[in-house]
Structure 1
Amino acid sequence: MTPEADAPRPDGRAARWAGQRERRRREFVDAALRAIAEHGPEVSTEQIADEAGVARTRVYKHFDDAADLQRAIAHRATDLITAELAPLWDPSGTPMQMITVAVGAHTGWLAEHGNLYRFLTRHAYAGRRDGGDAVTDVKTVIAQQLTLLIEHYLETFELDVRISEPLAFGLVGLVDTSAARWLDNPRGIDLPELAGLLVHWIWRILDDALRAGGIELDPHAPLLVPGG
């Protein structure tokens, strides 16, 4: 007999079960996102099961435990956030327009999905085997992308590109921390006002970094780079 004839045949039933389990896991995560939006960050497994239309015990036929369910929710949330912010990495227009779009996307998502954000900050850390959390993952992805963007412009203007990473991470931290705190304690500031303040502060930081290298830009004029 040939080696191929001796090889075990793929178990079609196992493959179908794996596919069905994955589909059901996605459905439960979808139900969890709806339940979090309705009941808040302290949502219970019972409430998630109710949203999915099943008994609580059915949930754990597809997840190892609560931590496994939390990890799945965190992974889905990370994918949703990064997908929504993806258009920011093809910027155009004036510096002020680019900043406004970026801040609006971030604060808008946070305001619309406040309960999910709170859920991630309160629960996802405990559900991660690697000790990380989904919120930090997302902020890191955004900051890394922003680093490349800032580095490109600094290099084009022949400025010190070493500041790109700390500048990018600092700006992301400013927006995320300010918006997250605003969710819990707005102090009479509405979302458009918060976004406007953040846009102003970000431009001031970027303008100071550029002026230190001898570059002065009009924030309301199309961004023209040397040789562009």
Structure 2
Amino acid sequence: MGEPAATGDGPPTAKRLPRAQRRDQLLAAAERAIARDGPQVSMDTVAAEAGVSKPIVYRHFGDKNGLAHAVGERFAVALLSEWRTTLAAHADPRERTHAAIEVILRRIDEAPQTYRFLTRGSAEGVPALGDALDSFLRLIGDDLAAFMSSVNEDKSPERQAALLTWGHAMVGLVRSSTDLWLDRRHVSREELVAQLTDLLWNGFGDAGWMTGRPPGTRGDDPGTA
């Protein structure tokens, strides 16, 4: 015998699930609906995709704003976990730079409509760049700054402040380039990763973070693979 139907919780065939399990089910349904219908997806569509009534969706997320935050958090947590694993897996600085950019672009390329939903909002008033994704991008910037600090021989407060600025500047560069690429697809994803790697490597090569050289030390051309 199966579980009894959840009275008032949607179609007669809907089963009452533990709250966390139901939330995961709704988020997975939301991701499918967004991938199919884009940022303009409605709460009705999400409910239909999940096989529940709309009040259940509202009960878990409050409104579309709350749904966007939850989708963004789910997207960001998975991406941040893979991004950190990738950084730890590459010892060569240039390979690490390339791999870290590739992780971000691949994840966005695999779910472009979800990324648009989170960054561009919708006609129903969901704000551009949901809180969860915004927090994720800040974490990426902080992570980059911390990594640069760990390999930079200059530990002065002035250098640490500069590294924090550069870490977040790198994130902004990648995000802006990704937004353009999603709209125009002017190069392949692999080419974009290579372009951004070259730009970051050359532009920040003298900052002392790529190889741990102190600032002002010239050494080999940082743009050489």
Which of the two has higher C-alpha Rg?
A: 1
Matched, 1:149 2:144: no
Match of 1:116 among 114, 117, 124: 114
1:11-160 to structure 2, matched below 5 A, reads 20-123=18-121, 133-155=131-153, 160=159
Q: Secondary structure at the match of 2:181?
A: helix
CA displacement at 1:209 relative to structure 2: 2.4
Q: Which has the higher contact order (CA 8 A, sep 6+)?
A: 1
Farther off after superposition, 109-118 or 74-83: 74-83
Q: Is the 8 A contact 1:110 1:180 kept in 2?
A: no
Contact 2:34–2:41 (Cα < 8 Å) also in 1: yes
Distance in 2 between residues matched to 1:113 and 1:176, nearest whole Å = 15
Once residues 64 and 42 of structure 1 are traced to their aligned partners in structure 2, the CA distance between those partners, rounded to angstroms, is: 18
Q: Runs of at least 4 residues of structure 1 off by over 6 A?
A: 156-159
Structure 1: runs of 5+ lacking an equivalent: 1-18, 223-228
Q: Identity, % of aligned pairs?
A: 30
Asked if 1 retains the 8 angstrom alpha-carbon contact of 2:72 and 2:118, the reply is: yes
- What is aligned with 2:165? 166
Q: Distance in 2 between matches of 1:221 and 1:193?
A: 17
- Secondary structure in structure 1 of the residue aligned to 2:153: helix
More helix per residue: 1 or 2? 1
Alpha-carbon RMSD across the aligned residues, in angstroms, is 3.0
Extract unaligned runs of 5+ from structure 2: 1-16
- Give the equivalent residue in structure 2 for 1:5: none
CA contact (8 A) 2:101 2:174 kept: yes
TM-score by length of 2: 0.77
Aligned to 2:138, the other structure's residue is in SS state helix
Give the residue type in structure 1 aligned to 2:207: A
Counterpart AA for 1:122: R
> In 2, distance between residues paired with 1:198 and 1:57?
45
